[in-house]
Structure 1
Amino acid sequence: MLPKKVPSVKGVFFFGHALEFGRDPLTFMLNIQKNYKRFAQLRIVHLKINLILTAEDAKYVLQENNKSFIKGRAYRVLSMVLGNGMLTSNGDFWHRQRKLAQPAFYKQRLALLVDTISDETNLLIKNWQGQLAESNGKKTVQIPKEMMATTLKIVTKALFGTDIDPEKIEQISFDIDELNELASIQMRTPIRLPLWIPSRFNQRFKTSSSRVHAVIQEIISTRRNILENNPNAEFDDLMQMLITAKDEETGEQMSDQQLKDEIITLFLAGHETTAMAMSWALYLLAQHPAVVQKMRNEIKEVLGDSTTPHYDSMRTLPYSMQVIQEVLRLYPPAWAFSRQVLNDEVVGGYLIPKNQQVLINTYILHRNTAYWDNPEVFNPDNFLPEKIKERPTYAYLPFGGGPRLCIGNNFALMEMQIMLVALVRHFDFDPIETVIPEPQITLKPKGGMKLRVSQRC
C-alpha cells in the first residue's frame, strides 16, 4: 500500500499558520488535535511542520527509529544559547558526550545532593516564615520568582560547589534568562536576521552570550589551575565529574568549549525547568485542598513531623510523586520538541519527506482523550500503577523519550519532591488569579503567578 500524504491544515496566503502559531500555539494545536487523527501538516511561511498526534507515532520517532530523526531547526536556535551541548547535538558527538556525563547522574551521585536541596528549601521556608510573622500571617508571593531563586542556588551548588561568587551566578542567571527570552522570540519569528547584522536584537543576544561564556570560562580555568597545582584536590560537584570524565576508548576528556556548552545546558535545564514545574505545582495545589490533605496524611505517616525526604522517598511517598507526575502532565516545562527527518520516512502510514520537521507537542499529547479521561482536570490518580499500565508509554513525555530521554530526569523529580513535601508541610497556598500558560523555551505562567501564602496552623 502506498503511503498517504499528511493532511494539511488550511492556512492563509504566504504566512500559512505563522500568525496563529505565534499568537497562541497551545490553543491552536489543541484545536488541531480535535480534528485530526495521527498527523496534521502546518506551514510557517515556507517551513512545513508535521504535527504528531499519537503516542504510537511519537514512540516510532523517538525510540524505534530514532537515528533517522535528528534535532532540527528549533534546536539550531537553542544552540545559539547552549552551544553544542547534549540537548542540541546529534550523532556520534552527542553519544560521546552523553556517555561522559552519565555517571554524574547515577543514583549514588544524586543521593549526595539531597542535603543541598533540603538546605536551600529550608532557607526559603525560614525566609517566608519571617515575612509572614511581619505581615499578620499572610503574604502575597510571586511564586516563579521565589522558585527560580531557590533552584538557582541548588543548581549552582550542584554544579560548582559552594566556593563561587554569588554575584557571578546572579549575572549568569540574568543573562541566561535574557538569552532564553530572545531565543523564544527567534523560534516564533518566521523570518530571522542573521546574527552578524547589527540589529538591537542581535546586540542584546551577543552581549548576554559573551558574558555567560566569559564567566563560565573563568570558573573552568580556575578549577583547572587548582587541579594542575594540586592533582589530589577533590571537589564534590558535577563540574569536577565532567572535567575528569574520560572517554573509555580514547581516554580523551572534554575540551573547555565542550565543558562550557554542557555546563550552560545543565545550568539552564536544572534551574528554570524545575522552577516552572514547582510554580505550576503550587498553583494547582492551591486550587485542590483535598489533594494537599492527602499529601500531608502520607507525609506524616511515612516521615513523621521532621524527617527529611531522601533519594528513595520517591518510592516511600507514592502519592506525592503522583502529584508531581500529574503536574508535569498538565504543565510540562518542555512543552514541545521537534525532529528533522534525514531521509524519506513512512510513519504510521504517512510519508514524511526528507528534511521536513516533525513536532511532538507534549502539552496537547497529555490532553489527548484517547489516553486520558477528563484530561483538563487535575487528578493525581492518573498515575496509580494500574492506570499507568493501561496507557501507551509514550502518551506521557515530560522528559522526552528514547535514547534522548532527559539525563537529569531523576534529579528533577527528586528535587521537586523534596521541595514540595517541605513547602506543603509548612504552608497553605490560596489562589489569587487565573494564570495562563505561555510557551517560551519552557512553559511559563504569563505575567507571573501570585499566590497567597500563609503559615500552616
Structure 2
Amino acid sequence: METIASAAKQVPLYAGLPFIGNTLAFFRNPLKTLLILQRQQHRMVHLRIGGRHQYLVFSPEDSKHILQENHRNYGRSLAFQVLKIFLGNGLLTSDGDFWRRQRRLAQPAFHRQKLAALTQTMIAETADWLDELKQRNRQQPVNVSQAFMDVTMRIVCKTLFGSEVATQLDGLSSALDTLNYMANDRLLSPIRVPLNWPTPGNRRFRQAGALVDTFVYDLINQRRKNLDTGVDSGDDLLGMLLSTEDEETGERMSDQQLRDECVTLFSAGHETTAVSMAWTLHLLSQNPDVLTRLRSESKAILGDARLPSPEAFRALTYTMQVVQESLRLYPPAWIMSRLALGDDHIGPYTIPAGSAALVCPYLLHRDPASWSDPDRFNPDRFEPGGEKDQLHAYAYLPFGGGPRLCIGNQFALMEMQILLAMLVRDFDIQAVPDQHIIPRPLITLRPSRPIQIILR
C-alpha cells in the first residue's frame, strides 16, 4: 500500500449534471452506468449520487482492502441508515460492539452441524411446495418470482423461527415488497420527505411496517410463552436469541432487539434466495443443455423418493455449480456501500473520511480481466480446479466478504441446491416466448418483471 504522503493523486471524477451529479444516470440505468465506468479502466472513480460523494473501486484487490484488510476504517453507510428505518438495528444495519455482540449470539444457529439438522425441514417444505405446483393448470405459466418468495418464506420461518406462516404468506410477502421498494426510492432520492408527513407513500410504508411488526411480535410472544412452559425446545434461532443472556450483565435481548433481528432475517433470509432462484430458472430456460445435465444428475442421485435423504444432496456437485454460476451473473447483493470513518489510501488515491466506498459484485463478477466470456452462463467455471479456483478470492463475492460476510451464506446455498434439484427432477422448464427480462437493481438485483416459466 502506498504511504499517506504519496497518496495525493486526485480520483477521476465521473462528470455528471450540475447540482445533481450522477444521480440521474444511476436512477435511469445504474448497471449500464457501472459497466461504462468499468470499461474506462480506472482503478477508482469519484461519483456524486443523491447529494453524497462516493468512491467506486473496481479490482478484487481493492475490494479486499475495503471489506477485509482495513475493515475497521469502514462503518455502515447512509444506505444502511435508510434500511434501518424498517429493519431496525439488526445484524445487517448495526455496527461496532453492538453488531459484534449480536453476531456472536446468532452465529451458533448457522453452524454447519446446526444447518445439517435443518436440511430435512427444507426437503419436506420443498416437497409440499412441489405437490402444490403439480395441482396447478400446467398450460398456464407459473410466476416463479412469487412462487419462490412463498416457499423461501415458509422455509425461513419453519427452520429459523419454528413457525408456520402458510395463512399469512400473501400479506407478509406484499408488505416486505412494499418496504423494499420504498426504501430503494428513498435511497436514491436527494430529497427525503419525513416519514411522519401524511403522504400516500408514507401511509403505505407505515401500514406495511405495522403488518410485519404485528406478525413478528406475536411470534416472539408466543415463543416466549412456549419456552417458559417447557413446551418448546428452543433449539432454533429465535429460541436461542430468546434464551441467551449477556455474559457480563445477565440481561436478555429486549423485544425490540428480537424484532429487529427477526425482521432482518425474514427480509434477507427469504427474499435474496427467492430472487436468485427465479434468475436461475430464467437462465436454465435459455440453456437447455445445462438443464439436461442438471436433471440427469438430480435423477441419478435423488432417485424417485419424495423426501430424498439429506446426505444425497452433498453429491450434487453440478447442481451447486449451477447455483454458483447463477449467483455470479445475478448477485442479489449487487453493490455494497461502506462509510469511511477516516481517510483511507489506496495506491495513489485517497478516500476522504465521511464519504462512501463502493464495492460492486456485479462488476467484479463480469470483469473480463478475471472471467473469460463473462456474460455467458457456464457452470463449468466452478468445477474443482476450474476457472474460479484460479482467480483472486474477491473476484467472486455473492455474499460479501471480510468480517461482514453474510451469516446465512451456507443456509442459502443449501436451500437453493435442494429447491433446484427437486424442482428439475420433477418438472421440465420452458421459457415463455417474447418475455423480455432485464435486471432491475433495487436493494437486491431483481428482474424487471416477474419471471414466468412453463413447468411441465
Q: Which residue of 2 aligns with 1:346?
A: 345
Q: Which residue of 2 aligns with 1:298?
A: 297
> Against the structure 1 CA distance between its residues 125 and 165, is the aligned structure 2 distance closer, same or farther, given a 3 Å change threshold?
closer
Q: Which residue of 2 aligns with 1:107?
A: 112
1:260 to partner: Cα distance = 0.4
Distance 2:44 2:78 in 1: 19
More displaced, 304-313 or 190-199?
304-313
The residue matched to 1:70 in structure 2 has which SS? Answer: strand
Q: Which amino acid aligns with 1:451?
A: I
Structural mapping, 1:146-165, within 5 Å: 146-162=147-163, 164=164
Q: Which residue of 2 aligns with 1:85?
A: 90
Distance 1:253 1:58 in 2: 37
> Against the structure 1 CA distance between its residues 313 and 42, is the aligned structure 2 distance closer, same or farther, given a 3 Å change threshold?
farther
Q: Which residue of 1 aligns with 2:453?
A: 451
More displaced, 111-120 or 75-84?
111-120
> Against the structure 1 CA distance between its residues 311 and 349, is the aligned structure 2 distance closer, same or farther, given a 3 Å change threshold?
farther
The residue matched to 2:132 in structure 1 has which SS? Answer: helix
1:306 to partner: Cα distance = 2.9
Distance 1:282 1:202 in 2: 35
Q: Provide the TM-score with structure 1 as the length reference.
A: 0.93
**In the alignment, is residue 14 of structure 1 matched against residue 16 of structure 2?**
no
Deviations 1:165-192 (A, max 9, x none): 6444543332222111111111121221
Distance 1:353 1:153 in 2: 44
Q: Which residue of 2 aligns with 1:420?
A: 420
Distance 2:271 2:429 in 1: 21
Checking the alignment, whether the CA contact within 8 Å between 2:157 and 2:165 is kept in structure 1 is: no
Checking the alignment, whether the CA contact within 8 Å between 2:382 and 2:389 is kept in structure 1 is: no
Q: Which residue of 2 aligns with 1:399?
A: 399
Structural mapping, 1:161-240, within 5 Å: 161-162=162-163, 164=164, 166-168=166-168, 170-228=170-228, 230-231=229-230, 233-240=232-239
Checking the alignment, whether the CA contact within 8 Å between 2:276 and 2:332 is kept in structure 1 is: yes
> Against the structure 1 CA distance between its residues 403 and 310, is the aligned structure 2 distance closer, same or farther, given a 3 Å change threshold?
farther
More displaced, 260-269 or 152-161?
152-161
Q: Which residue of 1 aligns with 2:44?
A: 39
Structural mapping, 1:271-290, within 5 Å: 271-290=270-289
Checking the alignment, whether the CA contact within 8 Å between 1:157 and 1:237 is kept in structure 2 is: no
**In the alignment, is residue 441 of structure 1 matched against residue 443 of structure 2?**
yes
1:76 to 71, 76, 81: 81
Q: Which amino acid aligns with 1:364?
A: L
The residue matched to 2:136 in structure 1 has which SS? Answer: helix
Deviations 1:413-449 (A, max 9, x none): 0000000000110111111223111111211111211
The residue matched to 1:112 in structure 2 has which SS? Answer: helix
More displaced, 310-319 or 342-351?
310-319
Deviations 1:349-379 (A, max 9, x none): 3100011001112112110111111110001
Q: Which residue of 2 aligns with 1:409?
A: 409
Distance 2:416 2:52 in 1: 37
Q: Which residue of 1 aligns with 2:261?
A: 262
More displaced, 74-83 or 122-131?
122-131
Q: Which amino acid aligns with 1:150?
A: V
> Against the structure 1 CA distance between its residues 221 and 45, is the aligned structure 2 distance closer, same or farther, given a 3 Å change threshold?
closer
1:407 to partner: Cα distance = 0.4
> Against the structure 1 CA distance between its residues 359 and 197, is the aligned structure 2 distance closer, same or farther, given a 3 Å change threshold?
same
Q: Which amino acid aligns with 2:451?
A: M
Distance 1:296 1:166 in 2: 29
Q: Which residue of 2 aligns with 1:55?
A: 60
Q: Which amino acid aligns with 1:360?
A: V
CA RMSD of aligned residues (A): 1.9
Structure 1 residue ranges without an equivalent (≥5):
none
**In the alignment, is residue 384 of structure 1 matched against residue 383 of structure 2?**
yes
Q: Which residue of 1 aligns with 2:3?
A: none
> Against the structure 1 CA distance between its residues 343 and 325, is the aligned structure 2 distance closer, same or farther, given a 3 Å change threshold?
same
Q: Which amino acid aligns with 2:281?
A: L
Q: Which amino acid aligns with 1:106?
A: H
1:122 to 127, 136, 140: 127
Q: Which residue of 2 aligns with 1:320?
A: 319
> Against the structure 1 CA distance between its residues 396 and 165, is the aligned structure 2 distance closer, same or farther, given a 3 Å change threshold?
closer
1:315 to partner: Cα distance = 4.3
Q: Which amino acid aligns with 1:411?
A: F
Checking the alignment, whether the CA contact within 8 Å between 1:48 and 1:356 is kept in structure 2 is: yes
Structure 2 residue ranges without an equivalent (≥5):
1-5
Q: Which amino acid aligns with 1:94?
A: W
Q: Which amino acid aligns with 2:123?
A: S
1:116 to partner: Cα distance = 2.0
1:231 to partner: Cα distance = 4.6
The residue matched to 2:135 in structure 1 has which SS? Answer: helix
The residue matched to 1:406 in structure 2 has which SS? Answer: coil
1:26 to partner: Cα distance = 0.7
> Against the structure 1 CA distance between its residues 426 and 227, is the aligned structure 2 distance closer, same or farther, given a 3 Å change threshold?
closer
Distance 1:300 1:436 in 2: 31
